[in-house]
Amino acid sequence: MNVLTLIENWEGQFKKTSLETLSYGKNLADKIGAKLIAITYSGENPEKLAQYGADKIINISNGSFESITNHTIADNCIELIKEYEANYLIISNTNLGKAIGPLISNDESIGYISNAIEKPINLKPLTVKCKAFSGKAYATYQSNYEKNIISIVPNSIGEITNNSSTGEVINIEKTINEKIQIITRNKSNEKISLSDAEIVVSAGRGLKSADNWDMIEELANTLGAGTACSKPVSDMGWRPHSEHVGQTGLAINPDLYIAIGISGAIQHLAGVNSSKNIVVINTDPEAPFFKSADYGIVGDAFEVVPKLITALKNYKN
Amino acid sequence: MNILVCISSVPDTTSPINFIDDNKKFDNKNITFIINPYDEFCLTKAIFIKESVGATITVIHVGDNTNDPVLRKALAIGADKAIRVNQPARNSKIVANCIADYCQNNSFDVIFCGKESIDYNSGQVPGFLASKLNLPFINGCINLEIEGQSATLKREIDNGHEICKCSLPLIVAGQKGLVEEKDLRIPSMRGIMTARTKPLDVIESQIDNENLIQVIQYDKPLARSECKMISEDNVEQLVELLNQEAKII
């Protein structure tokens, strides 16, 4: 019996959310007395994955996440599940993970549970609590399939370094048979991936103009945070679409979400309501966001944010 | 050109989310159901394609007759015909199997699904469809140009974008960007009148519907405790609280 995990990487770095899936897989493998096998493509220093519990690392060296399609990854995973007689495949709830889950699960013997936010409640049958209703509820799924794929919401589990594993690296080549031709792939300029970020600093129309974002970026840098924005600000082109969090934008799951000059419409909340802590800074004491916040400051962002940056810098020293 | 747009019926964004029957069922009393917002982008895109190169647009939904209004709305927006597979949509695989079954007997050049439905957020149906029908699957689609028997597509991938090319038929999971929000088509008076004459066919599911994955329980997140207000003159207090109480920095 084996537990497989798919470890995504991009430009030489293993994704933080994939290291979380490795920890999830390790916990599961230990519970059922199985080996944990990590699958990656052209990973740099694949032996590093042993620190997180991988007993074996299958490094597919003739492809990379920068160059292959979801179909190839899914097909390769199907073969490896059979070859290693795996009962579980743990993947990240990234765009990639959510696309390959159903592609792999087409096999009638493999079930797929997505949006998992915690370790399984039960294994026989597999029972996992998942995010639902755009973060307004949890749905606990039960699967009666013999084998299962679980995809985990980033930043729900946290990565755990555990150096008790052998981490044998096996380099292989796999068939690549693309139906879809990739013309270009471009990484966006964001320094910190919003879906992985533990801290996110976000701002909205209260900032009044696209020119006023320097202090937001400085605050983000001070905290090592990602930057996000509300929908109106993204629609007006003040910030890139990739920063838009909300119902029709990205759903994020940080430990801390700081919302500056954002009123807190329901559609915005749908993207950020699972944040563990929410700080709201707004001039309007009636702003609905305060009802969903843990900490709030009523004040002018142009005064409060610089003070916050200073306070944080002082605190560091 | 034949286009299929898969439609989900979901609670409106502002609906309260509550559960009944010992938290095993969603309480849909007094809930307004709408076309899943991501599906609307796909439907408008299909209409753009129809207006540009000509197409017949079929919308399909898996569910019971309480969702017929949502199908009628799709017809009023501009679809040519509607199909409802009369089968409770117990999980994504069942929905996909029903739609795939319909597709086996009706060929489509492009099959659109919304990226995910805003109720279950699973986003699994298009992938299952692609697998079942052995068709290329392009998810996160934010642009699509058809050129004869192939298409050039733009995708939003994790942390970036991709441009890819693929021959038809194919399956697209679409989202905002496929069309701009301001260009979303809404039912016109004329649309509503003509929708009454367009076919809404109900078909029974022909397949053995496995029910191996199900929701056994719903919960709501614990309400956050009341917001701690901090004076704008004492921002240092926020930093202290984030460190000591929330333990984040």
Compute the distance between CA of residue A274 and CA of residue A259 in angstroms, rounded to an integer. Answer: 14
pTM of the prediction? 0.93
H-assigned helices in A127-273 = 214-223, 231-235, 266-272
**Interface mutation vs chain B, best among A140, A189, A227, A304, most B CBs within 10 Å:** A140
Subunit contact B159:A113, Cβ cutoff 8 A? no
Would you give the DSSP letter of residue A66? T
A197 CA: distance to closest CA in chain B (Å) = 12
Subunit contact A102:B249, Cβ cutoff 8 A? no
Compute the distance between CA of residue A171 and CA of residue A176 in angstroms, rounded to an integer. Answer: 16
Give me the residues paired with residue A256 across strands. Answer: A199, A277
Subunit contact B131:A185, Cβ cutoff 8 A? no
Subunit contact A256:B126, Cβ cutoff 8 A? no
Would you give the DSSP letter of residue A222? H
How many CB contacts within 8 angstroms connect chain A with chain B? 244
Subunit contact B137:A103, Cβ cutoff 8 A? yes
Which two tokens mark A210?
């696209």
Compute the distance between CA of residue A41 and CA of residue A69 in angstroms, rounded to an integer. Answer: 12
Give me the residues paired with residue A139 across strands. Answer: A130, B218
Which regions in chain B score pLDDT beneath 70?
209
Helix (H), strand (E) at residue A24: helix A16-32
Give the per-residue pLDDT at B209: 66
Which two tokens mark A192?
């910190």
pLDDT higher than threshold 70 for residue A265: yes
Compute the distance between CA of residue A213 and CA of residue A239 in angstroms, rounded to an integer. Answer: 9
Burial class of A214 by CB neighbour count within 10 A (0 to 12, 13 to 18, 19+):
exposed
pLDDT higher than threshold 70 for residue A167: yes
Compute the distance between CA of residue B168 and CA of residue A183 in angstroms, rounded to an integer. Answer: 17
Bridge-based pairing state of the strands A110-116 and A199-203? unpaired
Compute the distance between CA of residue B249 and CA of residue B7 in angstroms, rounded to an integer. Answer: 44
Q: Closest Cα to residue A182, out of A306, A66, A298, A303? A: A66
Compute the distance between CA of residue A102 and CA of residue A180 in angstroms, rounded to an integer. Answer: 18
* pLDDT, tens digit (0-9, with 9 covering 90-100), for A186-227: 887 777 888 889 999 999 999 999 999 999 999 999 999 999
How wide is the angle at C-alpha B178 spanned by C-alphas B175 and B181, nearest 5°?
80
Average pLDDT over residues A306-313: 96
For helices B125-133 and A95-104, angle between their N-to-C axes, nearest 10 degrees: 40
Q: How far apart are the first and last CA of chain B?
A: 56
Give the per-residue pLDDT at A163: 66
Subunit contact B248:A256, Cβ cutoff 8 A? yes
Compute the distance between CA of residue B53 and CA of residue A24 in angstroms, rounded to an integer. Answer: 49
- Single-letter amino acid, residue B136: P
Residue whose entry in the numeric block shows the structure tokens 């879809």 = A180
* pLDDT, tens digit (0-9, with 9 covering 90-100), for A112-144: 999 999 999 999 999 999 999 999 999 999 999
Compute the distance between CA of residue B135 and CA of residue B173 in angstroms, rounded to an integer. Answer: 13
Give the chain A residue nearest B140 (alpha carbons): A95
B155 φ/ψ sector (left φ>0, alpha ψ -120 to 50, else beta):
beta
ipTM of the prediction: 0.93
Give the per-residue pLDDT at A192: 82
- Of B37, B137, B236, which is closest to A99 when you measure between CB atoms? B137
Average pLDDT over residues A241-251: 90
Of chain A, the percentage scoring pLDDT greater than 90 comes to 83
